[in-house]
Chain A
């Protein structure tokens, strides 16, 4: 291989962003191709089958399972309200009948004559899918969902907590290397996407949550703060389903690390614009990173040219993503092709990096990430 391929996180001021909005099961799509939608528009909706409540009717009525079906007052498929009689025993000479009232509302789904089990299905649960970004519907899959497209500035984070949300961008700090503290947040940030600089403290996140901030984005955070915020030690980086009332996105990594200046500048340029944020992260095969999408007005600027991808070349800017130089920014100075013995004793292919401070260091190719300036 001529070049080491190191995928960096995408940060671009303009690209065509497509998002596919799908229902988990078949339902109704409310939009048609060509429609313009806002981020909070419900584009598709359906009903999920409700919760299931099994009732062991044979035991409840003290009858053999095979008799259950004949004693049911509601047959399969019939609706029943809570407290309505569901089944009744034959009694003796028509007297002493035992009546069992339904503990739930729903539909009688099945009646088993082997186990005497009756399954009640609760009312359907509505499922709604919103557009997530404002834009144009370019494709509709009948009964399943649609695709929304728009030109957008796009920023990928490294790690996030919480699901989809949107709000207007609000910069809370002056520089990209400033720590985001509780003092930087205020009441008027309700519903906004608040952007910080370097590390954000747990107090800042709690304050943001108190003020009703939609999402909070910053360069880094401490593991301890994450633990305090979540209330447990996160074991595996699969997130997105947390119900914390706020979406948190870290753009660079853990620790006190400044947000990349390019990312910060991009946020600054779009302050006040509406942005859609998703904190869902899944670091597994089929990696998912948190993202911030800022839909743009059509044709205001030209699309940024596709970056040449992530090939290491001399002079390219990069960031080191592993101790002992974690978080440092520099450029590729040399790309020796022979494996090099590292301080740890392992042999690996390396590159020489000229740090911003002017110092030159040797790091394994696996430990750098290309950035765009």
Chain B
């Protein structure tokens, strides 16, 4: 009896719900509008599949909120299947792939997935079905046409990056050329670097050594490397003037690098006979033990010039204050913002952040370095300019209260296109553009 009543009940239920758009049976409604497109800006290695959510997907449209969905029919996952329609070149389609093969699942609420396991030039069809929590599957919704992944020669989403690269690279190349042509490029004089000759001169006149500290970081830190560049110049000046240079280091590798640097500087100055490797020595890796060692040396030997170039932490003020106390000319350079005030207050000259890194270019007088320094400066200038313009647009946009006017559009253009990855031109007409680019 019961077996009879069930179909009847089912029919009754079906009839009662006939006006409803919802599922006919115990399976959820299928997703609709399944579209597969070639992923833009790639090497033809992906296809983006998208669909409209099943009406039984609670992450879906607002209607599902107003019209309660049968809890049994709530979509839990979408199955995605693929069929390979044709191959390209010498490839052949395997038996399995000729039929529908499940390639992935997407959780409820998702409307898109990217298939990255495709072959360039082959064509594929996709279909999607919704699966409810009872594991009942809906009917399949398939793509209308097969899709073929193609390689795009340019990744247009990075177009602005390319433009900036070309611009900055061009500027650098231009300034290097200008510098090479013999034109004197003006670089803001950095008092601290000009003072190096003076500091070494003072040491020579007073018959005292020059102390050089490359910071407490290891050789892999950029600040230590920048410090070594300055050391090379200091050592060369010391060699020319005949002053002694003392370099205690906090890392053994830095000692080796410093010795190499100083030796070649002495060689370049034509005084290899004056080079004394013993004066460049390793103290200890321990931060404060190192500082104690250096300050002890300073108090005993009273160097006439102390130069600190590298990464410094809490020891900055201890060193600089001791140096000040013994009456030395002190030049410091670090990119540690928290230590700069101490150096500025206690030293004669301080290289601040960028200046410190620009020092090597400044000191070398090499057209390659000066040119790239100049080019980079212009690059930075352009970046800051865009930043400022963007701030202005954003301010005006928020004041006008809408993103729909020219301010908002400009702001979004800078944000999404120039600094984001929305391509060369705004997305308003972007779809067609991108497709246009694809072809």
Seen from chain A, the residues whose Cβ lies within 8 Å of a Cβ on chain B are: 56, 59-60, 62
Seen from chain B, the residues whose Cβ lies within 8 Å of a Cβ on chain A are: 273-274, 276
Contacts of A59 in B (CB 8 A): 273-274
Contacts of B273 in A (CB 8 A): 56, 59-60
Q: Would you give the shortest CB distance from B260 to chain A, in whole angstroms?
A: 19
Contacts of A62 in B (CB 8 A): 276
Closest to B273 in A: A59
Q: Would you give the shortest CB distance from A100 to chain B, in whole angstroms?
A: 10
Contacts of A60 in B (CB 8 A): 273
Question: What's the Cα separation between A56 and B272 when bound, in Å?
Answer: 11
* Number of cross-chain contacts by CB at 8 Å: 6
Q: Would you give the shortest CB distance from B279 to chain A, in whole angstroms?
A: 12
Question: What's the Cα separation between A184 and B274 when bound, in Å?
Answer: 60
Contacts of B274 in A (CB 8 A): 56, 59
Question: What's the Cα separation between A54 and B198 when bound, in Å?
Answer: 26
Closest to A62 in B: B276
Shortest 5 CB-CB contacts between residues of A and residues of B: A59-B273, A60-B273, A59-B274, A56-B273, A56-B274
Closest to B242 in A: A56
Question: What's the Cα separation between A56 and B274 when bound, in Å?
Answer: 9
Question: What's the Cα separation between A62 and B275 when bound, in Å?
Answer: 9
Question: What's the Cα separation between A56 and B273 when bound, in Å?
Answer: 8
Question: What's the Cα separation between A59 and B242 when bound, in Å?
Answer: 11
Question: What's the Cα separation between A59 and B274 when bound, in Å?
Answer: 5
Question: What's the Cα separation between A340 and B224 when bound, in Å?
Answer: 78
Q: Would you give the shortest CB distance from B417 to chain A, in whole angstroms?
A: 60
Q: Give the residue among A56, A59, A60 with the most B Cβ atoms within 10 A.
A: A59
Contacts of B276 in A (CB 8 A): 62
- Say what secondary structure dominates the interface of chain B: helix
Pairs across A and B, CB under 8 Å, 6 listed: A56-B273, A56-B274, A59-B273, A59-B274, A60-B273, A62-B276
Closest to A115 in B: B242
Question: What's the Cα separation between A59 and B275 when bound, in Å?
Answer: 8
Q: Would you give the shortest CB distance from A60 to chain B, in whole angstroms?
A: 5
Question: What's the Cα separation between A56 and B276 when bound, in Å?
Answer: 14
Q: Would you give the shortest CB distance from A246 to chain B, in whole angstroms?
A: 35
Question: What's the Cα separation between A60 and B272 when bound, in Å?
Answer: 9
Question: What's the Cα separation between A60 and B273 when bound, in Å?
Answer: 5
Question: What's the Cα separation between A60 and B274 when bound, in Å?
Answer: 8
Question: What's the Cα separation between A62 and B276 when bound, in Å?
Answer: 8
Closest to B272 in A: A59
Question: What's the Cα separation between A356 and B274 when bound, in Å?
Answer: 74
Q: Would you give the shortest CB distance from B238 to chain A, in whole angstroms?
A: 13
Q: Would you give the shortest CB distance from A39 to chain B, in whole angstroms?
A: 45
Q: Would you give the shortest CB distance from B231 to chain A, in whole angstroms?
A: 20
Q: Would you give the shortest CB distance from B425 to chain A, in whole angstroms?
A: 61
Question: What's the Cα separation between A60 and B275 when bound, in Å?
Answer: 10
Question: What's the Cα separation between A59 and B276 when bound, in Å?
Answer: 9
Question: What's the Cα separation between A11 and B274 when bound, in Å?
Answer: 61
Q: Would you give the shortest CB distance from B273 to chain A, in whole angstroms?
A: 4
Q: Would you give the shortest CB distance from A65 to chain B, in whole angstroms?
A: 13
Question: What's the Cα separation between A163 and B276 when bound, in Å?
Answer: 49
Closest to B275 in A: A59
Q: Would you give the shortest CB distance from B210 to chain A, in whole angstroms?
A: 17
Contacts of A56 in B (CB 8 A): 273-274
Question: What's the Cα separation between A62 and B274 when bound, in Å?
Answer: 9
Closest to A56 in B: B273
Closest to B274 in A: A59
Q: Would you give the shortest CB distance from B286 to chain A, in whole angstroms?
A: 31
Question: What's the Cα separation between A59 and B273 when bound, in Å?
Answer: 5
Q: Would you give the shortest CB distance from A63 to chain B, in whole angstroms?
A: 12
Closest to B278 in A: A62
Q: Would you give the shortest CB distance from B300 to chain A, in whole angstroms?
A: 19
Q: Would you give the shortest CB distance from A203 to chain B, in whole angstroms?
A: 32
Question: What's the Cα separation between A330 and B423 when bound, in Å?
Answer: 89
Closest to A59 in B: B273
Q: Would you give the shortest CB distance from B320 to chain A, in whole angstroms?
A: 32
Q: Would you give the shortest CB distance from B430 to chain A, in whole angstroms?
A: 67
Q: Would you give the shortest CB distance from B395 to chain A, in whole angstroms?
A: 62
Q: Would you give the shortest CB distance from B272 to chain A, in whole angstroms?
A: 9
Q: Would you give the shortest CB distance from A55 to chain B, in whole angstroms?
A: 9
Q: Would you give the shortest CB distance from A132 to chain B, in whole angstroms?
A: 42
Question: What's the Cα separation between A10 and B183 when bound, in Å?
Answer: 52
Question: What's the Cα separation between A334 and B274 when bound, in Å?
Answer: 76
Question: What's the Cα separation between A256 and B252 when bound, in Å?
Answer: 75
Q: Would you give the shortest CB distance from B408 to chain A, in whole angstroms?
A: 67
Q: Would you give the shortest CB distance from B384 to chain A, in whole angstroms?
A: 48
Q: Would you give the shortest CB distance from A260 to chain B, in whole angstroms?
A: 48
Closest to B276 in A: A62
Question: What's the Cα separation between A274 and B274 when bound, in Å?
Answer: 58
Closest to A60 in B: B273
Q: Would you give the shortest CB distance from B337 to chain A, in whole angstroms?
A: 42
Question: What's the Cα separation between A62 and B272 when bound, in Å?
Answer: 12
Question: What's the Cα separation between A145 and B273 when bound, in Å?
Answer: 45
Q: Would you give the shortest CB distance from B244 to chain A, in whole angstroms?
A: 11
Q: Would you give the shortest CB distance from A32 to chain B, in whole angstroms?
A: 51
Question: What's the Cα separation between A99 and B276 when bound, in Å?
Answer: 18
Q: Would you give the shortest CB distance from B240 to chain A, in whole angstroms?
A: 14
Q: Would you give the shortest CB distance from B322 to chain A, in whole angstroms?
A: 29
Q: Would you give the shortest CB distance from B270 to chain A, in whole angstroms?
A: 12
Q: Would you give the shortest CB distance from A142 to chain B, in whole angstroms?
A: 45
Q: Would you give the shortest CB distance from A7 to chain B, in whole angstroms?
A: 48
Q: Would you give the shortest CB distance from A102 to chain B, in whole angstroms?
A: 14
Question: What's the Cα separation between A256 and B282 when bound, in Å?
Answer: 75
Question: What's the Cα separation between A15 and B274 when bound, in Å?
Answer: 63
Question: What's the Cα separation between A42 and B273 when bound, in Å?
Answer: 45
Q: Would you give the shortest CB distance from A115 to chain B, in whole angstroms?
A: 10
Q: Would you give the shortest CB distance from A53 to chain B, in whole angstroms?
A: 14
Q: Would you give the shortest CB distance from A62 to chain B, in whole angstroms?
A: 8
Q: Would you give the shortest CB distance from B241 to chain A, in whole angstroms?
A: 14
Question: What's the Cα separation between A60 and B271 when bound, in Å?
Answer: 10
Question: What's the Cα separation between A219 and B142 when bound, in Å?
Answer: 107
Q: Would you give the shortest CB distance from A68 to chain B, in whole angstroms?
A: 13
Question: What's the Cα separation between A235 and B316 when bound, in Å?
Answer: 55
